[in-house]
């Protein structure tokens, strides 16, 4: 995929799935559930299946539907499966970093898929290399797999329990062995993970509740921070291995952008949360306008909420091509120069001669925002006012979201008036941290480090840029 066509957005972490279907084949159930998580990563996908003896895996670069044709699923025979769809955060986008990882251990085969980032991954990697481990990728997920493979204990739950306290940072992971699936979540609760009961018996675990509903789960709950879930046959057991850290550090961007609107996260409807973000944005940064439009798709509920509070008509302003940004065909030079115009077209009839409020979920580098504003003006808008449903992103994330470095983040270099001038708006308003949390109905329990620079766990110095170190972020 051409980087020039990639939207100026935080990148969608990863998605994980685990399936146990006693008496049935898990391959297709795993496929449809991970397909429902495609939005969380479009670079690579993989499925590993256990038949009680061996683990078979197929994985590759591309979308889920590109990696898995019918003939690729058929050899994956067994009642247990894990799956992964990936956007690279640590580790480059290469074949060797595609998950799930499958290794042979003295206890039998082991597969692992992971969503998140460990901030102590470099230390753990050096320790593994010193002990003679043969690392084949640059991903911290392989570090997790090899540490688990070498952990002591009489069964896999005990081995996982013994190694979890050594991991610092974000991890929501699923594990596949010959006879069971396991799932675990870090004690800070950074990344989402839920477990549900399948119709007819069996269980499923997934990064989002929408993926569970896709395969028929009607009853589900979050995997608790610090908890291990074990499923074997039709039996589910849970073990609270580590105390949940208080306050929690849930990723606010799950509500703002990452999750599907049908997801339930922290007992909140993501769709309703986004509408509330828009409502609070309208109260904090109203604008005199004729129409409110969203930048599709995650900003649509927020734009509806914004328009409702102000009493201004809501309408569509953009038509989005949802596939151009995920093609692996390189555009011509002429097409590449059109940039965002390849991804969006405007509905001029809804914009011409009007004062427009454009609601978006975030501004990272500012390049896409500027091009979108240009498109709206070219469609005949007399004024363009941009409203953003989160605070300025001034700090990188080290827990599984690719937001760029300090040097790349426009809010680290410019104030709001300067950003407005840079992207060409008549006015610009960001939702404050206080209003954002009010919209979620929470006082704390969320990681807002990308807005505030206050990280819930210390960050390794070698993960930081020189500028970041001298800015005194580590406190």
pLDDT attached to residue 333: 67
Is 309 found in the same domain as 242? no
Does the residue 25 lie in any domain? yes
Q: Is residue 14 among the annotated active site residues?
A: yes
pLDDT attached to residue 4: 41
Residues 6+ away with beta carbon under 8 Å from 44? 59, 60, 61, 62, 67, 85, 86, 93, 97, 98, 99
pLDDT attached to residue 208: 97
Is 379 found in the same domain as 289? yes
Is 102 found in the same domain as 127? yes
Task: Answer whether 44's CB lies under 8 Å from 90's CB.
Answer: no
CB burial of 274-291 (b: ≥16 within 10 Å; e: otherwise) equals bbbbbbbbbebbbbebbb
Q: Range of 300's domain?
A: 253-470
Q: Classify strands 80-86 and 14-20 as parallel, antiparallel or unpaired.
A: antiparallel
**3-class DSSP state of 110:** strand
Task: Answer whether 156's CB lies under 8 Å from 182's CB.
Answer: yes
pLDDT attached to residue 336: 62
Structure token digits, residue 445:
């329990």
Is 278 found in the same domain as 230? no
Question: Count of alpha carbons within 13 Å of 76, Cβ hemisphere only?
Answer: 23
pLDDT attached to residue 187: 98
Does the residue 27 lie in any domain? yes
Alpha-carbon gap, residue 137 to 91, rounded angstroms? 7
Among residues 246, 263, 285, the one where a domain terminates is 246
Residue 380's domain is classified under what CATH number?
3.40.50.2020
Does the residue 475 lie in any domain? no
Written as tens digits, the pLDDT of the chain (475 aa) is 444 445 566 665 799 999 999 999 999 999 999 999 999 988 899 999 999 999 999 999 999 999 998 799 999 999 999 999 987 554 455 677 899 999 999 999 999 999 999 999 889 989 988 887 777 766 788 899 999 999 999 999 999 999 999 999 999 999 999 999 999 999 999 999 999 999 988 999 999 999 999 999 989 999 999 999 999 988 999 999 999 999 999 999 999 999 999 999 999 999 999 999 999 999 999 999 999 999 998 899 999 999 999 999 999 999 988 766 555 555 676 666 667 878 899 999 999 999 999 999 999 999 899 999 999 999 999 999 999 999 999 999 999 888 878 999 999 999 999 999 999 999 999 999 999 999 999 999 999 999 999 999 988 544 443 333 323 332 2
Positive or negative, the Cα torsion across 406, 409, 414, 415?
negative
Structure token digits, residue 436:
């954002």
Is 304 found in the same domain as 207? no
Catalytic residue among 14, 217, 397, 450: 14
Q: How far is CA 437 from the centre of its chain?
A: 19
pLDDT attached to residue 297: 87
Alpha-carbon gap, residue 18 to 311, rounded angstroms? 45
Alpha-carbon gap, residue 40 to 171, rounded angstroms? 15
Residue 96: closest CA among 54, 146, 46, 133: 46
Is 379 found in the same domain as 448? yes
Residues 6+ away with beta carbon under 8 Å from 235? none
Structure token digits, residue 92:
């480059």
Alpha-carbon gap, residue 414 to 215, rounded angstroms? 46
Quick: pLDDT tens for 101-125.
999 999 999 999 999 999 998 899 8
Residue 124's domain is classified under what CATH number?
3.60.20.10
Is 261 found in the same domain as 235? no
Is 434 found in the same domain as 407? yes
Quick: pLDDT tens for 154-211.
999 999 999 999 999 999 999 999 999 999 999 999 999 999 999 988 999 999 999 9
Strand partners, 240: 227
Is 28 found in the same domain as 148? yes
Is 201 found in the same domain as 94? yes
Quick: pLDDT tens for 272-328.
999 999 999 999 999 999 999 999 988 999 999 999 999 999 999 999 887 665 555
Is 285 found in the same domain as 241? no
In which residue are the tokens 């990308």 written?
A: 450
Which residue blocks in 26-131 are alpha helix, DSSP H? Answer: 27-35, 64-67, 70-73, 121-130
Total structural domains within the chain: 2
Structure token digits, residue 247:
């306050």
pLDDT attached to residue 331: 63
Task: Answer whether 170's CB lies under 8 Å from 141's CB.
Answer: no
Residue 15: closest CA among 255, 353, 259: 259
**DSSP structure string for 231-281:** EETTEEEEEE-SPPPSS--EETHIIIIIS-TT-EETTEEHHHHHHHHHHHH
pLDDT attached to residue 427: 98
Is 196 found in the same domain as 156? yes
Among residues 192, 221, 246, the one where a domain terminates is 246
Does the residue 459 lie in any domain? yes
**3-class DSSP state of 7:** coil
Alpha-carbon gap, residue 351 to 396, rounded angstroms? 35
């Amino acid at each position: 995929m051409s980087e020039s066509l990639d939207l100026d957005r935080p990148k969608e972490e990863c998605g994980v799935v685990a399936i146990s279907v006693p008496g049935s084949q898990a391959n297709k159930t795993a496929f449809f559930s991970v397909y429902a998580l495609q939005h969380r990563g479009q670079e690579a996908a993989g499925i590993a299946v256990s038949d009680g003896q061996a683990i078979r895996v197929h994985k590759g670069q591309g979308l889920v539907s590109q990696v898995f044709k019918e003939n690729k699923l058929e050899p994956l025979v067994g009642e247990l499966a894990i799956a992964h769809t990936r956007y690279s955060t640590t580790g480059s986008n290469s074949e060797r970093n595609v998950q799930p990882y499958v290794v042979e251990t003295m206890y039998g085969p082991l597969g692992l898929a992971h969503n998140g980032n460990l901030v102590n991954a470099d230390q753990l990697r050096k320790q593994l290399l010193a002990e003679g481990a043969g690392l084949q990728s640059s991903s911290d997920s392989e570090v997790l797999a090899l540490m688990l493979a070498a952990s002591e204990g009489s069964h896999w739950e005990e081995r996982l329990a013994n190694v979890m306290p050594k991991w610092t940072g974000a991890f929501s992971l699923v594990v596949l062995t010959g006879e069971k699936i396991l799932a675990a979540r870090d004690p800070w609760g950074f990344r989402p993970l839920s477990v549900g009961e399948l119709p007819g018996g069996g269980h499923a675990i997934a990064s989002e509740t929408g993926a569970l509903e896709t395969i028929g789960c009607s009853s589900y709950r979050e995997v608790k921070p610090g908890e291990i879930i074990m499923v074997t046959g039709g039996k589910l057991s849970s073990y609270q291995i580590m105390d949940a850290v208080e306050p929690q550090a849930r990723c606010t961007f799950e509500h703002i952008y990452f999750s599907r609107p049908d997801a339930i996260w922290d007992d909140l409807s993501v769709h309703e949360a986004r509408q509330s973000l828009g409502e609070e944005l309208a109260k904090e940064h109203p604008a005199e306008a004729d129409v409110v439009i969203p930048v599709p798709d995650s900003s649509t509920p927020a734009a509806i909420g914004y328009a409702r509070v102000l009493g201004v008509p809501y309408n569509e302003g953009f038509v989005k091509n949802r596939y151009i940004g995920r093609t692996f065909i390189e555009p011509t030079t002429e097409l590449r120069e059109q940039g965002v115009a390849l991804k969006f077209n405007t509905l001029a009839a809804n914009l011409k001669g009007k004062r427009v409020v454009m609601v978006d979920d975030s501004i990272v580098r500012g390049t896409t925002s500027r091009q979108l504003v240009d498109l709206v003006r070219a469609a005949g808008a007399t004024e363009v006012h941009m409203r953003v449903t989160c605070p300025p992103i001034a700090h990188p994330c080290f827990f599984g979201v690719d937001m760029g470095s300090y040097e790349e983040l426009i809010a680290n270099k410019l104030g709001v008036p300067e950003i407005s001038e840079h992207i060409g708006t008549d006015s610009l308003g960001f939702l404050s941290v206080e209003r954002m949390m009010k919209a979620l109905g929470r006082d704390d329990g969320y990681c807002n480090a990308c807005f505030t620079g206050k990280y819930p766990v210390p960050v390794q110095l070698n993960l930081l840029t020189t500028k970041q170190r001298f800015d005194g972020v580590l406190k």
